Amino acid sequence: MSTRPAVRPRWSLLAALLGGVLLLLGGAIPAAASTTPLRWHRVNIYDDPPNHERWSCLTDGEWRCLYDQVPEPALGFSFNQFRAVFTGTEVTGAWECPDWFPGDICDSAARVVSGTSTVIIPRHGGTFTGDAIFIVTDEGILWFYWVDQFVCPWYPTFDQALPAECVFNT
């Protein structure tokens, strides 16, 4: 009989721990469900040979994105190992489209995210940071706008990423 009271506290402790874990998991599931992963691709025709570039983003009120390049040896593409990060917040209602942008960007902008982008150049040991804006159109195309310099189209799949040209602010 002396073992019986010892068993009850163990079961009570186990039940309390299990309940706590379930509460923690229950709180984490909605947060994970509200995070949206997004990805866009582009063929950079300005490098010789060209390269396959990619933005991968997570959004949950704040946008956190990683730029990298995908090796494409079968296509003869270059791979210079540049990396970049972008962090921003949505400003869709407050954003004004620059006059020099192609009209279809401004007319179909569904989401506009303003932030900063830092480019990492591994072989040269350098970085640079600038203001950047992501414009996502109704069609799902991302236009990456390096403020006051250029805007380039990015596509949801690599197959869609035709060698499209950037538009430069001249």
Structural domain total, the chain: 2
| Domain match, 61 and 22 both | no
| Domain match, 118 and 63 both | yes
| Domain match, 9 and 54 both | no
Specify the pLDDT at position 18: 33
| Domain match, 79 and 163 both | yes
Specify the pLDDT at position 25: 31
State the pLDDT confidence band at 35, using cuts at 50, 70 and 90. low
Query: Element (H or E) spanning 127, and its range?
Result: strand 126-137
Extract long-range pairs of 162-166: CB within 8 Å, 24+ residues apart: 162/43, 163/43, 163/45, 163/50, 164/42, 164/43, 165/45, 166/46
| Domain match, 24 and 49 both | no
pTM of the complete model beyond 0.85: no
Check whether 162 has a pLDDT greater than 50.
yes
Rounded CA separation 151/149 (Å): 7
| Domain match, 57 and 88 both | yes
Residue 141 structural domain: 36-168
Spatial strand order of the sheet with 83-90 comes to 36-44, 51-59, 62-70, 83-90, 109-121, 126-137, 142-146, 150-154, 167-168
| Domain match, 123 and 52 both | yes
Specify the pLDDT at position 163: 67
DSSP 88: E
